[in-house]
Amino acid sequence: MSFSFNDIIFSNEQRKPDDYAAITKELKRDILKSLALAGSGHPGGALGIAELMAVLHFGGVMRYDATNPTWKERDRFILSPGHYVPVLYSCLAHCGYFPTSELATLRKLGTRLQGHPAGFGFTPGIETTTGSLGQGVSIAVGMAMSDKLIDKNSHKVFCLSGDGELQEGSCWEAAMSASMHHLDNLCWIVDNNDCQIDGRVKEVMSIYPLKEKFESFGFAVIELNGNDVEQVISGYEQFNANHKNKINKPTCIIAKTIMGNEISLMHDKYQWHGNPPTIAQAEEALKELEDTNNE
Amino acid sequence: MNKYISKGTKPTRQGFGEALAEQGDKDSRIVVIGADVTGSVLTSFFAEKHPERFISVGIAEQNATTIAVGLALSGKVAFFSAYAAFATFRNADQLRVSVCYNNANVKIAGGHSGVTVGPDGATHQCLEDIGLLRTLPNMTIVVPCDYEQAKKATIAVAEHIGPAYIRLSRAKTAIFTNADDDFQIGKADVLRDGTDVCIVACGALVWEALQAAGELETKYNLNVAVINCHTIKPIDADTISAYAKKCGAIVTAEEHQIYGGLGSAVAEVVVGKYPVPMEMIAMQDRFGESGEPDELMRHFGFTAENIVNRCLLVHKRKIEQK
């Protein structure tokens, strides 16, 4: 059994909310296919942030040049939960960093698409290794410091963390330092799906109240539904305004999402944190996404 | 006859602090992260000279290390310094995943290594850092032997591309290398030639090794070579195997645990290239304790006297094997 991947490139421009449906479906199809082919990996979280990722990469929010991954003027995106990486690989492929056909090599020997992001320079478009939770947010803080404090440029740094990830104490070290150093060029998105391997975040180890925590750490907090494209667009717009207006504090977007969103098999089920779909399950799910390119 | 004489004493951390501040003038990419102990590890010199490139993150070594990675991935040469115990173990996962797997241009300076930290006791006497860091791919490890060499090692580490660790001491130790001596990462210094036994040492034990070699010559008529193995990784396998062959017996000496440090690194070379009898002077798989630095060095056998005894022992083994 093999799946093929649409080799469509999406441009990076402001779009109307309705224009994102095709993109998010494409990302979700890629996630399901690549994980089913890999026979291992983490579908739930990746599927849940399709909208957040689609707007970030294809909505004119971030500056990048897929033909020049180390372009000095680029904005950065750090995916702190490295296990979400299938959705990032899919985005990067549709940006044009590498061919979409490469998505079929996920997690296989010799691939550039490692199970968790490998070191900088290993995969075009990947800014850093992540996979040990809590580290990506500090790396993003370091990049934001480099831009704002040292180089004094106008680059932006976006970082997405999980919610369970916030149980790692070093996340709060990162939050403290982002705030004290006034990093208004940093947008920290918390994927709040309330799922982790052992169950619900609020039951395994509560990280709530989240809004109050980030506010008390000195962040400008935006709460939104991360699966609602309209709200996601407005959230990024608000951050861009915060950055432009030099509010002297970092922005945190708390995005409520649903793990495995809109895939019946996986919708809001934490059991899909780290189990890949079988080929048959992927085929079933792809029907829900109106895939017409399934061989 | 030793050509190396002591020209006074200063701690290696001072050489590091001074050189880093000076190198900051020449290289505007250098950024230093402080984690509260800047006045102890002497990154305070850099902070005073280049406040615009000094970032304080407080007592948060994990964050400091990964922030350094973010800076490095943005084109900076990022230095993070704290006590060795907290700059290598508290942040070990960050060093492994974010620094080394990224091959990021991050430099860690571990101050207050070894028992010479003194009265603070075992929590602060880091004796395991080399062993830990030696297991990490892409990591370079440098242990300067005195103040003068610490300055050169700091510049070399700043100019080196990729992760590097420089191991420093709190206590004042003899300054015996010269400003115009060569220093190259990965190239061990043969301080004294010899044919009977070779001492391979690093850090403060190099000075002790030179004293021991002098005594072995005058009292026992032994011709002992002394190698300052300032780079533990990548180890200078060519020089070590050449001296294994030339001397037929090796004594290693380091202010570190017996497992995983310089002795282990030398043994790995020797067994692969030219097996000879070896003795290792190191901490014998136990924690340190409070005391004055000199007292502790004697208590744990980090002395010229112990090196002399172990040289005699290994020399005897060599003769018996023949």
CATH topology for B9-174 is: Rossmann fold (3.40.50)
Average of per-residue pLDDT across A200-206: 96
CA separation for the pair A228, A214 (Å, rounded): 22
What is the model's pTM?
Answer: 0.96
- The structural domains of chain B, with segments of one domain joined by +, span 9-174, 189-321
Q: What average pLDDT values come out for chain B (322 residues) when binned by 10 residues?
A: 85 98 98 96 97 97 98 98 97 98 98 95 97 98 98 98 98 96 98 98 98 98 98 98 98 98 98 98 98 97 98 97 86
Looking at beta carbons, which residues of chain B come within 8 Å of A151? 74
Contact B264, B215 (CB under 8 A): no
Asked whether the bond before A276 is cis by omega within 30 degrees of 0, the reply is: no
B303/B208 Cα distance (integer angstroms): 6
Contact B114, B169 (CB under 8 A): yes
Cross-chain Cβ contact B78/A132 below 8 Å:
no
Q: Which residues pair with residue B113 across a beta bridge?
A: B126
A70 touches chain B (CB under 8 A): no
- Dihedral through CA B280, CA B284, CA B290, CA B293, nearest 10? 0
B167 neighbors B84 (Cβ within 8 angstroms): yes
- Angle made by CA atoms B48, B147, B181, in degrees to the nearest 5: 120
- Helix (H) / strand (E) element for A79: namely strand A76-79
CA dihedral B175, B178, B184, B185 (to 10 degrees): 0
| Residue A291 binned pLDDT confidence (cut-offs 50, 70, 90) | low
Q: CA-to-CA distance for B110 and B129, rounded, in angstroms?
A: 8
The interface predicted TM-score (ipTM) is 0.95
Top-tier CATH class for B189-321: alpha beta
| pLDDT per residue as tens digits for the range A34-66 | 999 999 999 999 999 999 999 999 999 999 999
Chain B positions touching A128 (Cβ under 8 A) are: 69-70, 73, 98, 102
DSSP string over B264-292: HHHHHHHHHH----EEEEEE-SS---SS-
Q: What is the DSSP letter of B185?
A: T
Q: What six digits make up the tokens of A94?
A: 């549709």
Per-residue CA distances from A135 to A126, A163, A174, B220 (Å): 15, 14, 9, 56
Confidence label for A120 from pLDDT (cuts 50, 70 and 90): confident
Express as a percent the part of chain A with pLDDT over 70: 98
Is the CB of residue B75 less than 8 Å away from at least one CB of chain A?
Answer: yes
Cβ contacts of A129 on chain B, cutoff 8 Å? 97-98, 101-102
d(CA A42, CA A32): 10
| CATH topology identical between B9-174 and B189-321 | yes
Domains of chain A: 17-288 (3.40.50.970)
- B103 in contact with A at a CB cutoff of 8 Å? yes
Q: Give the closest-approach CA distance of B265 to chain A in angstroms.
A: 27
Asked if A128 has any chain B CB less than 8 Å from its own CB, the reply is yes
pLDDT of A102 > 60? The answer is yes
Is B61 among the catalytic positions? yes
Beta pairing, strands B173-174 & B189-192: unpaired
Of B2, B6, B1, B60, nearest to B33 by C-alpha is B60
- State pLDDT tens for residues B198-234: 999 999 999 999 999 999 999 999 999 999 999 999 9
Separation CA A46–CA A33 (nearest Å): 13
- Torsion angle of the four alpha carbons B161, B20, B141, B172, in this order, in degrees rounded to the nearest 10: 170
